[in-house]
């Protein structure tokens, strides 16, 4: 019985060695056919050019490169912002900024081309309107996202 076990252990490494030698020649020829990989990064340095450290801009081409599954993930590119779903259908997303719960329409504002989506009259009682409006915009339709967290200049 011990001889059979020894043969099994000797047989497996030798079979792997034969298989690896057969594939190594294929890999060498395949490496000559592959095109080079180009990695592009995103970094906009706003030091000295913005009025507040919490001001930032995210370009639409960066959003198009992200694997986004739901419309709320577009807003999650803002540092410290978390978008979650309420339990139940027909409810708006719930927003947290740096751990604090944001109220719909009063603590968190969303504008599309300067038009506010969640005005104060739409807060809390009319969240379905806000949800329907935000969910109609996909990541592919966003050209530029500008964020202001905390105090920022109004002019």
Indicate the pTM of the whole model: 0.52
- C-alpha–C-alpha distance, residues 137 and 112, integer Å: 10
Task: Pick 46 or 38 by higher pLDDT.
Answer: 38
- When the pLDDT of each residue in the chain is averaged and rounded to a whole number, the result is 64
Residue 128 lies in a domain: yes
Task: Pick 128 or 145 by higher pLDDT.
Answer: 145
Residue 113 lies in a domain: yes
Q: What is the mean pLDDT of residues 131-155?
A: 58
In the chain, how many domains are there?
1
39 CB burial (10 A radius; 0-12, 13-18, 19+): exposed
Report the pLDDT value the prediction gives residue 146, as an integer from 0 to 100.
63
- Spell out a b/e string for 16-25, using b for 16 or more CB atoms within 10 Å of the CB, else e: eeeeeeeeee
pLDDT at 67 over 70: yes
Residue 143 lies in a domain: yes
Q: Which two tokens stand for residue 3?
A: 């001889």
Report the pLDDT value the prediction gives residue 112, as an integer from 0 to 100.
72
Lowest mean pLDDT among 57-61, 81-85, 109-113, 123-127: 123-127
Residue 11 lies in a domain: no
Parallel, antiparallel, or unpaired: how do β-strands 144-148 and 115-116 relate?
unpaired
pLDDT at 106 over 80: no
Report the pLDDT value the prediction gives residue 24, as an integer from 0 to 100.
56
Residue 4 lies in a domain: no
Categorize the per-residue pLDDT at 107 as very low, low, confident or very high, splitting at 50, 70 and 90: confident
Range(s) of the domain holding residue 142: 55-148
Report the pLDDT value the prediction gives residue 53, as an integer from 0 to 100.
63
Residue 63 lies in a domain: yes
Residue 18 lies in a domain: no
């Amino acid at each position: 019985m011990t001889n059979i076990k020894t043969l099994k252990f000797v047989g497996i490494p030798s079979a792997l060695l034969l298989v690896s030698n057969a594939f190594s020649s294929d890999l060498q020829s395949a490496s000559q056919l592959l095109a080079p990989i180009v990695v592009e990064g995103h970094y906009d340095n706003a030091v000295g050019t913005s009025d507040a450290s919490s001001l930032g801009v995210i370009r639409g081409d960066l959003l198009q490169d992200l694997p986004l599954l739901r419309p709320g993930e577009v807003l999650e590119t803002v540092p410290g912002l978390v978008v979650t779903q309420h339990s139940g259908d027909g409810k708006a997303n719930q927003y947290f900024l740096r751990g604090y719960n944001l109220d719909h329409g009063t603590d968190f504002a969303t504008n599309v081309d300067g038009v506010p989506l969640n005005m104060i009259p739409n807060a809390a009682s009319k969240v379905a309107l806000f949800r329907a409006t935000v969910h109609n915009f996909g990541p592919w339709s966003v050209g530029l996202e500008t964020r202001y967290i905390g105090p920022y200049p109004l002019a």
